[in-house]
Structure 1
Amino acid sequence: MSLATPQYRLTPEEEESVYDPAEDTFLLLDALEKDAQVIRAARPMVVLEIGCGSGVVSTFAANMLDGPCCSLATDLNVLAAQCARRTASLNHASLDTVVGDLAAPLQDRLFGKVDLLLFNPPYVPTSTEEIAGCKEVGRAWAGGIDGREVLDRFLPTVPKLLSENGLFYLVALNKNGIDQLLKYFSDLRAEIVLQRRCGIEFLFVLKFWR
């Protein structure tokens, strides 16, 4: 049975700075649903989304799981954290949000404890001039020269965060170097869960595990 996409609502103020769910969001939801049996079998107790934006992904993951778990999400944007909590509430899910950069506010307490890690990073290759001209919401998609500026800051933390049975789902663009990403971790296995054409590009959801 197909799982419903969570309801969400962005206020006029949030629309200026919070990423409105789009193709990449829905691809990640589809990947989680495709892997639902695998994820549920791992019985995740701690779920963490990095850069939660609207909270649709965190809420979907929380409602997909069979048992109770601690659902956490981070975002640099105070309004995104606010929106994510409202999305969870609208869909009768439990979600705690923390304002901060990537996993920094939580990582010391969560090392080795995250069973399900989710990240839809800013991945669009963007010049310095383009980034400077972006509106605030552009931070959600502007990824620097190769689209990996934010991602490359976070990747070294992933093996430290994941529990023994932890799963990490990542959204990436073809231009981010999919083959390189799949081989990034020497101590984690990897595979492509889903891929989909988006305009002239391809979006991917990659999965990593021990």
Structure 2
Amino acid sequence: FAWLRHFKKSMEIPTPIYNHVSNYDVYEPAEDTFLLLDALEKEQDYLKALRPTIALEVGCGSGVVSAFLATILGDSTAYFCTDRNQSAASCCVETSAANHVTINPVLTDLSTSFLPRFEHSVDVLIFNPPYVVTPPHEVEVNGITASWAGGVDGRQVMNRFFKQVPNLLSNRGVLYLVVIRENKPDEIREIFNEMGFLCEVVMTRRSGPEFLMILKFVRK
């Protein structure tokens, strides 16, 4: 009944228009996407009080999450997103136009192109990573498989990204991360604890066999 939840939610912050997404070779919005939207809506007062200057979504796919965030925060924030898929960048441009927001897609691996230029400058960082546990070699496959194949523990892509977070986030910055139980969230919490971050579970939801979680990280 995800559609019913989002019909109700649309009375407050509308779900972004994304009927064009099927025209692109990208990960289409699914239950993990909608859980992330719900979490951002829940966090909207916190995010507005943060008064972010720069927001960055890593692995943007359709661009729906960035469009939703831009609807919450308005024009005072600069919105960037990354993907290694050209089709995702093109889709994000159309999503941006369809929802009357401005999002700047960049073709890059994770956030590599933003360092060191955006070092300690990102106030809102979002990542819905490839988290499905798969054989390690599937992580290197191009195309739509790259949007969900996470390799060992579903963490091969995540673990590379974690190393970039301390250099990206501003002192007041926040990271929202989508994980499932198989990703060993307690281990993730400890990794970030050792890097100087606090962890909070913002929202959870079961979707078929998956138990989804949105983790929030801020500096201690």
Q: 2:209 aligns with which of 197, 200, 206?
A: 200
1:110 maps to: 118
Give the superposition deviation at 1:69.
Answer: 1.1
Write the deviation string for residues 48-92 of structure 1: whole angstroms up to 9, x where unpaired: 000000000011011100451110000000110110111011000
Note closer, same or farther for the CA distance 1:123–1:132 as it changes in structure 2 (3 Å cut). closer
1:10 maps to: 21
Structure-1-length-normalised TM-score: 0.93
Rounded Cα–Cα distance in structure 2 between residues aligned with 1:137 and 1:197: 23
Equivalent positions of 1:41-52 (< 5 A) are 41-52=49-60
3-state SS of paired residue (2:116):
helix
Q: 1:93 aligns with which of 89, 94, 101?
A: 101
Amino acid at match of 1:23: E
> More helix per residue: 1 or 2?
2
For the 8 Å contact 2:139–2:157, the answer to whether it is kept is no
Equivalent positions of 1:1-210 (< 5 A) are 2-8=12-18, 9-10=20-21, 12=23, 14=24, 17-128=25-136, 131=138, 136-185=143-192, 186=194, 187-210=196-219
Write the deviation string for residues 129-184 of structure 1: whole angstroms up to 9, x where unpaired: 7x289782111001002100100011011011001110100000110001111222
Note closer, same or farther for the CA distance 1:38–1:137 as it changes in structure 2 (3 Å cut). same
Structure-2-length-normalised TM-score: 0.89
Structure 1: 4+ residue segments shifted above 6 A: 132-135
Note closer, same or farther for the CA distance 1:200–1:158 as it changes in structure 2 (3 Å cut). same
Give the superposition deviation at 1:106.
Answer: 1.2
Rounded Cα–Cα distance in structure 2 between residues aligned with 1:132 and 1:84: 23
Rounded Cα–Cα distance in structure 2 between residues aligned with 1:198 and 1:184: 26
Rounded Cα–Cα distance in structure 1 between residues aligned with 2:168 and 2:140: 34
The gaps in structure 1 that reach 5 residues or longer are none
For the 8 Å contact 1:43–1:67, the answer to whether it is kept is no
Rounded Cα–Cα distance in structure 1 between residues aligned with 2:142 and 2:30: 17
Q: Bigger CA drift: 118-127 or 59-68?
A: 59-68
